[in-house]
Amino acid sequence: MKFESSYLQRVYDGLESRNAEQKEFLQAVAEVLESLEPVVAANPELERWGIIERIVEPERIIQFRVSWVDDNGKVQVNRGYRVQFNSAIGPYKGGLRLHPSVNLSVIKFLGFEQIFKNSLTTLPIGGGKGGSDFDPKGKSDMEIMRFCQAFMTELEKHIGADTDVPAGDIGVGGREIGFMYGQYKRLRNEFTGVLTGKGLTYGGSLARTEATGYGLCYYTQEALKSLRNTDFNGKTVAVSGAGNVAIYAIQKAYQLGGKPVTCSDSTGWIYDPEGIDVDLLKEVKEVKRARLTEYAAARPSAEYHEKKNGEHGVWSVKCDIALPCATQNELDENDAKMLIDNGVLAVCEGANMPSTPAAIEALKKAGVLFGPAKAANAGGVATSALEMSQNSERLHWTFEEVDEKLQHIMTGIVHNSLDAAAKYGLDGDLVAGANIAGFEKVADAMIAQGVAY
Ligand X SMILES: O=C(O)CCC(=O)C(=O)O
Q: Which residue, among 364, 379, 363, 369, has the nearest Cα to 331 in the 3D structure? A: 363
Instruction: Say whether 100 sits in a helix, a strand or coil.
Output: coil
Hey, what amino acid is at 391? N
Among 193, 380, 433, 438, binds ligand X (CB under 6 A): 380
Interaction of residue 132 with ligand X, rule CB under 6 A: no
Among 57, 59, 164, 169, binds ligand X (CB under 6 A): 169
Q: How near is the Cβ of 28 to ligand X at its closest, in Å? A: 12
Q: What's the distance, CA 435 to chain centroid? A: 15
Cβ burial 214-234 (10 Å sphere, 16+ → b, else e): bbbbbbbbbbbeebeeebbee
**Cβ atoms 38, 425 nearer than 8 A:** yes
| Alpha carbons 297 and 407: distance in angstroms, whole number | 36
Give all strands of the β-sheet with 303-306 in edge-to-edge order. Answer: 262-264, 268-271, 303-306
Piece of 40-48, 221-229, 347-355, 391-399 that binds ligand NAI (CB under 6 A):
347-355
Q: How near is the Cβ of 92 to ligand X at its closest, in Å? A: 10
Interaction of residue 106 with ligand NAI, rule CB under 6 A: no
| Alpha carbons 393 and 407: distance in angstroms, whole number | 22
Residue ranges of E strands in 169-243: 236-239
Maximum separation of any 2 CA atoms in the chain, in Å: 64
Q: What's the distance, CA 34 to chain centroid? A: 20
Give all strands of the β-sheet with 369-371 in edge-to-edge order. Answer: 259-260, 236-239, 321-323, 346-348, 369-371
Interaction of residue 266 with ligand NAI, rule CB under 6 A: yes
Binding mask 213-252 for ligand X (x = CB under 6 A): ----------------------------------------
Q: Which residue, among 58, 59, 51, 38, has the nearest Cα to 11 in the 3D structure? A: 51
# of chain residues touching ligand NAI (CB under 6 A): 21
Q: How near is the Cβ of 9 to ligand X at its closest, in Å? A: 29
Q: Is the dihedral of CA 397, 218, 324, 284 positive or negative?
A: positive
Among 31, 34, 57, 169, binds ligand NAI (CB under 6 A): 169
Among 114, 212, 355, 407, binds ligand NAI (CB under 6 A): 212
Q: How near is the Cβ of 45 to ligand NAI at its closest, in Å? A: 32
Interaction of residue 328 with ligand X, rule CB under 6 A: no
| Alpha carbons 125 and 93: distance in angstroms, whole number | 6
> From ligand X, ligand NAI, none, which one binds at residue 414 (CB under 5 to 8 Å depending on kind)?
none
Query: Which residues, listed in sequence order, are joined to residue 239 by a DSSP beta bridge?
Result: 323
Interaction of residue 167 with ligand X, rule CB under 6 A: yes
Interaction of residue 380 with ligand NAI, rule CB under 6 A: yes
Ramachandran region, residue 351 (left: φ > 0; alpha: ψ -120 to 50; beta: rest): beta
Q: How near is the Cβ of 327 to ligand NAI at its closest, in Å? A: 4
Hey, what amino acid is at 224? L
Q: How near is the Cβ of 282 to ligand NAI at its closest, in Å? A: 11
Q: How near is the Cβ of 113 to ligand NAI at its closest, in Å? A: 9
> Closer CB to ligand NAI, residue 51 or residue 82?
82
Determine which one of 93, 108, 117, 129 is catalytic.
129
> Closer CB to ligand X, residue 95 or residue 260?
95
For residue 129, indicate whether it is catalytic: yes
Cα distance between the two ends of the chain: 27
Interaction of residue 245 with ligand NAI, rule CB under 6 A: yes
> Closer CB to ligand X, residue 93 or residue 146?
93
**Cβ atoms 175, 199 nearer than 8 A:** no
Binding mask 87-106 for ligand X (x = CB under 6 A): ------xxx-----------
Cβ burial 45-82 (10 Å sphere, 16+ → b, else e): ebbebebbebbbbbbeebebebebeeeeeeebebebbb
Among 28, 170, 381, 402, binds ligand X (CB under 6 A): 381
Binding mask 181-220 for ligand X (x = CB under 6 A): ---------------x------------------------
Q: How near is the Cβ of 171 to ligand X at its closest, in Å? A: 12
Which positions lie near ligand NAI, rule CB under 6 A?
168-171, 212, 241-246, 265-266, 325-327, 350-352, 377, 380
- Residues labelled catalytic: 129
Which positions lie near ligand X, rule CB under 6 A?
93-95, 117, 167, 169, 196, 352, 380-381, 384
